[in-house]
Amino acid sequence: MIGKMVSLGFDLATLPARMSYRGAKAVLTMPGGLQLVMAEMREVSDEVAREIQMLAASVDAEMSQKAAHLSGEQKQQAAELALATAQQHLSMAAVDMLRALWLAMDSSRSLGHDASPILEQDRRG
């Protein structure tokens, strides 16, 4: 039973990759498919590069204006504070993602099943 569950879990976990591979293979075997894919990748890559350059320029302009009056030491202290704040926000974002995942899994579990945990259901089945 556990072997079947692990196998099913592996199959489900790799399904998106297998489907992506098959879809990409189908596109690449079409006449002109590779050139089309390469052109689209180049276009998307160029767009991302432009957006990153605009963001970097925006941050540079903003910070040059806001930090013009600060000394090097003050800038270093502000950088450390900004990094600590970013780390705290990322940690909370990770916790929020786990909460959302738990809620999504629990809501789908309770829609068609009783409220008992999944492991107890598997033991009975």
Same-domain status, 21 and 47: no
Q: Where are the alpha helices (DSSP H) in the chain?
A: 2-29, 33-66, 72-112, 118-124
Question: Is it the case that residue 120 has pLDDT exceeding 60?
Answer: no
Joined tokens for residue 76: 């270093």
The larger pLDDT score, comparing residue 5 to residue 111, is at 111
The larger pLDDT score, comparing residue 105 to residue 36, is at 105
CB atoms closer than 10 angstroms to residue 37? 14
Segment 47-57 shows an average pLDDT of: 91
Same-domain status, 62 and 85: no
Q: Looking at the domain assignment, is residue 61 inside a domain?
A: yes
Summarize pLDDT for 57-116 with one digit per residue, the tens.
Answer: 999 999 999 999 999 999 999 999 999 999 999 999 999 999 998 888 888 776 655 555
Calculate the average pLDDT of the chain: 78
Joined tokens for residue 105: 């899994």
Predicted pLDDT at 1: 47
Same-domain status, 77 and 109: yes
Domain that holds residue 52: 32-66
Q: Are 121 and 113 in contact (CB under 8 A)?
A: yes
Segment 11-17 shows an average pLDDT of: 64
Minimal CA–CA distance to 105: which of 113, 83, 61?
Answer: 113
Same-domain status, 40 and 25: no
Q: Looking at the domain assignment, is residue 122 inside a domain?
A: no
